[in-house]
A = this chain, B = another copy of it.
Amino acid sequence: MLRIAVLGVGRIGRMHAENIAAHPRATLAGVFDVHTPAAVEISEKLGVPRFESAEAVFASPDVDAVLIATSTATHADLIEAGVAAGKPILCEKPIDLSLARVNACATKIAGATVPIMLGFVRRFDTGHAAVRQAIEEGQIGELHQVIVTSRDPGMASVAYVEVSGGIFRDMTIHDFDMARFILGEEVTEVTATGSRLVDPALMERCNDYDTVTVVLKTASGKQAIINNSRRAAYGYDQRVEAFGSGGMAISENRTLNQLRLYTADFTGQATPLLNFFIERYQDAFAAEIGAFVDAIEQGIAPPVDFEDGRQALILAEAALLSVTEGRTVKISEIG
């Protein structure tokens, strides 16, 4: 049984802790949170030790691996600490809001052999993964276009938005990784368009956008289109479409069940989209833990790693530059 500790037990960390506890080949080695009451509560609820500090977690001989779900600003430090302690890491995205900090971290951990996995959970969604698999199996021929539709069910709090680093680094980052996952080759050009339509005043104040379209292009000419909105009235919209020379594969939205209601007023699906990411990607979060355990147990590379996190951030930087300058940005200009 692999003993995994969790740093940070906010909403996401808590869910990870429960998934670790439920995994057949892993146990929850304990938790730490700078907000002690949160750590006490989860420690008591799940009957696991509470650590006094992140350092104590990394120093503990009873901890085999560490999941980092703390605030973004601490990720890079904790990754470095994990590498120093020789403990495998599963870190929530993004690595950092600053590409310079991420690059510095990359330099520092260069050559490390301890597995570092990034929490791009959507790769583990069975529907999105099936799109990738359909491509690999040749079911849609040579890939030409990818469309990633990703819309949140509601604007996050003002406080959150203000420190989020902007939509590209905070929200689109998931879609940059999804596009890279589906494209299967590196992006060379980025063109972004941003609008302020959901909450223009807030966006104006934060110099941010709530409605964006990003077009990615690879060296071979493959295109990926990402469209984002901070607020979809009908729920959490998560779709991935891959179009190729031989056909098309779409991972459509999921609902809790397949209830269809037919009345004089409408004909259709009665159950709303799964809301929010913890429900929508519930299976994917569990599969992510499984992939982390597999990588450590089998000594294989994790399926999504530090460099994937860095590349996604590079695309975010390129998108920001593109929208600012109103032009296509080459990836070679970034970093």
| A45, chain B: closest CB distance, angstroms | 9
| A273, chain B: closest CB distance, angstroms | 6
Residues on the B chain within 8 Å of A237, using CB: 248
What interface size band does chain A fall in? 35 or more
Closest residue on chain B to residue A18 by CB atoms:
B24
Closest residue on chain B to residue A329 by CB atoms:
B326
Report the Cα distance A231→B151, complex, angstroms.
Answer: 29
Q: How many monomers of this protein are in the complex?
A: 4
The stretch from A5-13, A172-180, A220-228 touching chain B is A220-228
Contact in complex: B144, A264 (CB < 8 Å): no
A246 at the binding interface (Cβ < 8 Å):
yes
Query: Which residues of A (63-78) have their CB < 8 Å from a CB of B?
Result: none
Report the Cα distance A331→B127, complex, angstroms.
Answer: 40
Give the residue of B217, B249, B268 whose beta carbon is less than 8 angstroms from that of A195. B217
A43 at the binding interface (Cβ < 8 Å):
no
Evaluate whether A246 and B263 lie within 8 angstroms (CB atoms) in the complex, with A193-B191, A256-B126, A268-B269 already known. Answer: yes
Residues on the B chain within 8 Å of A254, using CB: 257-258
Contact in complex: A262, B245 (CB < 8 Å): no
A22 at the binding interface (Cβ < 8 Å):
yes
Give the residue of B126, B221, B264 whose beta carbon is less than 8 angstroms from that of A197. B221
| A275, chain B: closest CB distance, angstroms | 11
Contact in complex: A264, B234 (CB < 8 Å): yes
Report the Cα distance A147→B255, complex, angstroms.
Answer: 23
A266 at the binding interface (Cβ < 8 Å):
yes
Interface centre among A145, A267, A269 (most CB of B within 10 A): A267
Q: Which 5 A-B pairs have the closest CB atoms?
A: A268-B268, A195-B221, A127-B257, A247-B263, A252-B258
User: Interface residues, chain A, CB within 8 Å of chain B?
Assistant: 22, 125-127, 130-131, 134, 139-142, 144-145, 147, 149, 151, 189, 191, 193, 195-198, 211, 213, 215, 217, 221-223, 225, 227, 229, 231-235, 237, 243-264, 266-273, 326-328
